Structure 1
Amino acid sequence: MPIAATLNPSSLLRLDTNPTLFSRSVQRGTARPLFCIFNPAATNNQTGEGVAIKKVTNVFSKKILAKRALREIKLLQHFRELMECDLAAIIRSGQPLTDAHFQSFIYQILCGLKYIHSANVLHRDLKPGNLLVNADCELKICDFGLARGFSMDPEENAGYMTEYVATRWYRAPEIMLSFQSYTKAIDVWSVGCILAELLGGKPFFKGRDYVDQLNQILHYLGTPNEETLSRIGSPRAQDYVRNLPYMQKISFQSLFRNANPDALDLLDRMLAFDPSSRISVEEALEHRYLQIWHDASDEPSCPTTFDFQFEVVEEIPEMKKMILDEVSRFRQMVRVQPGAGAGANQAPQVPIPNNYDRAGYEDPRPQEAFNQGGWNGSDLERDLQGLDGRMR
C-alpha cells in the first residue's frame, strides 16, 4: 500500500467528501492522526488496495512543524511501507507469543535498522508503537518524525542532534546523561528495551519521570564504572549518580526465568549501559539467538545515503515549496510503479487485534517536558531530558 503523509487529504488524492470515507483510525497521536482508507474513491488504481493518509494540521503555523513534516515526508520516500497493526497492540492484546515470534520480530527490526543506519539515519524513537506488523508477522519500522542524520564527524554530528524528543522508556542512558556524543548505539538500546518488553509482556524501564527512569536503569544494570561515569556530560547528573548507593547488576536470568538463554545473552549485550560496550546492529544480526534467521545475503544496506541538506532551510515558504515538490515526486512515482506483492510467508502467524485503542496506550509521548508556562520540574529532571530539555 502506498503511504500518503499529507497536509490536507485532497492535496494528494482526489477524494470525495463522504464522511464514511475514513473507515477507521489506525493511530491517534497528540496531533497527527493516521487514517486507513478503504472507500473505492480512494484506492490504488493499479492494485485496488486502500491507502493511508496521515493528516497533519496547521503545518505551516510554526517553523518546527513545517520542518518536521518535510523531514518525515522525505524520509518516508526513502523508507516506506504500510502494515495492519503495531507491535504495541500485539504485546498488549494478551495473546500468547513464542520464542519464535520474538526471534522473528527482533531479527526484522535489526534488518530494518541496518538498512536505515547504512543511509546515515538514526531513527531515535524505536518503540513497539512504531513497529508495524501484519498477520504473517512481517514487521516494518515506521514514524521517522524524530529521525536525524548521522556523521562519523563529531562536530558535524552535533549539528544533527538537536530536538531529541524520543519516548522516555526507550531512551538510551547516554542521551539522558548528556554524553559528549552519541551514535547508532542509541537505536540498539531501544531494540533491547523492546526485546525485554517482549520477554516480560510489559515495558521494562517504565520510569514515572526522567529521574525515576535513570533510577530504574541503574537498579537493573547496576552502578556504571568510573570510566563511564567520567563521560557523563551533566555535572548535576554525574553528582547524582555518584551519590547513590552502589548497586549490583541484576541478572536477566532471574527476571525472565523462562526465556531462551540466548535471548538473554543478546539482551545483556544490547542493554549495556556504556554505548561503547553495546553490541552493534551487524553483530546482533550474527548473534546465535538469531542464527535460524541470519542470512547476510538477505540483509541489504541502503544503496544511497539520505540527504539532510534540507535541514538548513529556515523559511516557511521555502519549506512549503519543498513539501509540494515531494508531493509531486510521490505522484509521479505511484503512477509508474506497480503495487508490490506480499512478501514471503516465513514467520509464525499472529492474530491481529481488532479492538486496540491507540489513544489509550500509556507510553509517555515525545515532547512531554514542555508546557506553555515554562519549565516546572527540578534542575536534575531538566538535565536528564538531554537536548530536548531546551525551551524552544
Structure 2
Amino acid sequence: AVKKIENVFEHLQTARRTLRELRLLRYLRGHENVLHPDAVYFARSGADFAHVYLVTDRVDTDLGNLLRRRDLQMDQNHHLFLMYQCLRGLKWIHSAGVVHRDLKPKNLLVSTGWDLQICDFGLARIVCPPGSKAASSLGTSRTTQADVVATSTAKQPNMTQYVCSRYYRPPEALCGKARCSPSLDMWSLGCIWAELIADGTVCFFGNSTTDVLRSIVKLLGAPPQNWTADIPSEKCCEFLARCSRELKVGPQKPESVFEWEYVHKESDEMARDAVTLLNRLLRWEPEDRLTAAGGLHELLFHDLHCEEDEPNHDPAAASSARLVYRDGNLRLLDPHSHSQKPGVDPPEASDTAVPLRKGSGD
C-alpha cells in the first residue's frame, strides 16, 4: 500500500508532522498490530520534491469501511478479536511512552484475515522518555491510569490542541484541558468498542463540540466534583452545569454503571461483559479508565489472552532499524526483518471474509 503525503514542505507544521510520523513509525516497529513502513519515496529532483510516498504492506480495508457495510455481518467473535488486537497494539505503543492521539475506525486497518494494524501517527506524541522506567511500567497490568496520568503530565512539550476526530475525543480534550496521557487513547478505544458492539452506531454523535459534550453527559452523567476546576473556559463549565440540570443527571461515580440502549439487544453473558468493558473505558476521570495492559486481562478476552504474546515495546527493534537513502528513495533497513513473531489466530466462529475496498482487486 502507498500513502501519499502531499506538499510536505508547503507548511512547516506539515513537514514537522511528516518527519515525526516517520520517526515514530521507525521507533514503534516490531509489532504486528502496528503499521510499519517498508520504504519512503520522493522525487530525485529538488525542484520536484513536494510529495512523500510511504510504502507499507498491503491492507485491504479499514474498520470505518467495515462498520459502514450493511451487507457485512460481524459477530461477537469478530468484535472480540478486533478489540483484542487494538489493546495488544496499544500496549506496545503506550509502553514505548507514546500516545497515538487520533484513534478512530479509519485508522485501524483490517486485512481479509481479520488482522488489525494501528496506523496514522501524524498526531502521536512521546509523553514519557523512551526506555525510562515510567514508559516501561505502562505495559504492566498492575499500573493504573492514575500512575500513568501522574507520570505523563509531569513535563510535556507544547502540543497541538487538536486531538482525535470529534466523536472519539475524550471530554478533557473537548473542554481544553492541557494534559495528555495514554488514557486519551483508551477513551477513543471505548468509543470504537461501543460502535463495534452496536453495529456501527456512533456512541457520542454530534455536529459540534457542545453536541458531543451533551451526549457524554446524557450517557455518563455529570462530571465528578472538581472535574471542571482546571477547565480554562468558564463558558464550558457553565455549559456542563446547565446540561446536567436539564438532563437531570448526577455526577458519575467510580462504581457507576450506565446502560446504552443500542447494546442491550441481547442478554447473554458476553453482551454483559461487553458493557462492563465499555463502562471501564468511558470514564470522566482519565485515571479511572482501564489501561491497555489491564484491558487484556478482562474476562471478555480470556480465550485470547496470552501474556507471552502481548509484549511491551522493544527498544532494540527500533535501534536496529534505520532509514537509508538508496536509488532515489529512503528505505527502512531492519537486520531482523526475516524473524517471525508469534501471532494470534483469527476467529473461527464465522466464515465471513472482510470485503476488499472497491477497486482494490479480486
- Alignment TM-score > 0.5, same fold: yes
Q: 2:355 aligns with which of 353, 365, 370?
A: 353
Partner of 2:13: 64
Report matched runs for 1:146-165 at 5 Å. Answer: 146-151=123-128, 152=151, 154-157=153-156, 159-165=157-163
- Among 243, 260, 264, the alignment partner of 1:257 is 264
- Are the aligned partners of 2:114 and 2:354 in contact in 1 as well (CA < 8 Å)? no
Q: Distance in 2 between matches of 1:337 and 1:224?
A: 47
Distance in 2 separating the partners of 1:84 and 1:133: 6
Unaligned runs of 5+ residues in structure 2 are 30-34, 37-56, 129-150
Structure 2 vs 1, CA of residues 154 and 336 (structure 1 numbering), >3 Å: closer, same or farther?
closer
CA contact (8 A) 1:189 1:271 kept: yes
Q: Map residues 332-347 of structure 1 onto 2, 5 A cutoff.
A: 333=333, 337-338=337-338, 345-347=345-347
C-alpha displacement at 1:303, in angstroms? 1.5
Contact 2:99–2:124, Cα closer than 8 Å, also in 1 = yes
Q: Is the 8 A contact 1:93 1:353 kept in 2?
A: no
- Name the SS for the 1:70 alignment partner: helix
* Shift, 1:175, TM fit: 0.7
CA distance in 1, matches of 2:216, 2:317: 33
Higher helix share: 1
- Pick closer, same or farther for the CA change 1:295–1:176 going to 2, 3 Å: same
Q: Is the 8 A contact 1:138 1:347 kept in 2?
A: no
Aligned to 1:198: 196
The answer to whether 1:302 aligns with 2:313 is: yes
Structure 2 residue 65 is matched with structure 1 residue 89? yes
- In 1: Cα distance, 2:287 partner to 2:160 partner: 22
- Equivalent of 1:102 in 70, 79, 98: 79
Q: What is the alpha-carbon distance in structure 2 between the residues aligned to residue 165 and residue 219 of structure 1? A: 22
Displacement of 1:325 in angstroms is: 5.6
| 2:101 alignment partner, SS class | coil
CA contact under 8 A between 1:122 and 1:148: conserved in structure 2? yes
- Partner residue in 1 for 2:289: 278
SS in 1 for 2:331: helix
Q: Residue in 1 aligned with 2:23?
A: 74
Q: How many residues are paired up?
A: 290
- Percent identity between matched residues is 32
Instruction: Identify the residue that residue 132 of structure 2 maps to in structure 1.
Output: none
Report the TM-score, using the length of structure 1 for normalisation. 0.67
Compared with structure 1, are the counterparts of its residues 181 and 280 closer, same or farther at alpha carbon in structure 2 (3 Å cutoff)? Answer: same
Shift of 1:217: 1.0
Q: Which residue of 1 aligns with 2:280?
A: 269
Unaligned runs of 5+ in 1: 1-51, 308-323, 359-392
| Equivalent residues of 2:60, 2:356 under 8 A apart | no
Instruction: Report how far residue 188 of structure 1 moved.
Output: 0.3
Answer whether contact 1:124 1:146 (CA < 8 A) is retained. Answer: yes
Alignment of 1:38-187 (within 5 A): 52-77=1-26, 78-79=28-29, 80-81=35-36, 82=57, 83-94=59-70, 95-151=72-128, 152=151, 154-157=153-156, 159-187=157-185
SS at match of 1:132: strand
Show CA shifts across 1:285-322 (max 9, x none): 11111111111111001112999xxxxxxxxxxxxxxx
Measured at CA, do residues 327 and 188 of structure 1 come closer, stay the same or move farther in structure 2, by a change above 3 Å? Answer: farther
1:252 shift after superposition = 2.4
Cα distance in 2 for partners of 1:147, 1:263 equals: 28
SS of residue matched to 2:114: coil
Partner in structure 2 of residue 384 of structure 1: none
Q: 1:55 Cα deviation (Å)? A: 1.6
Q: Distance in 1 between matches of 2:154 and 2:236?
A: 23
Secondary structure of the equivalent of 1:255?
A: coil
Q: Which is further off, 277-286 or 148-157?
A: 148-157
Matched residue of 2:117: which SS?
Answer: strand
- Residues 153 and 281 from structure 1, CA distance in 2 versus in 1: closer, same or farther, beyond 3 angstroms? closer
Residues 228-243 of structure 1: pairs in structure 2 closer than 5 A = 228-243=227-242
Q: Which residue of 2 aligns with 1:331?
A: 331
Q: Distance in 2 between matches of 1:336 and 1:294?
A: 26
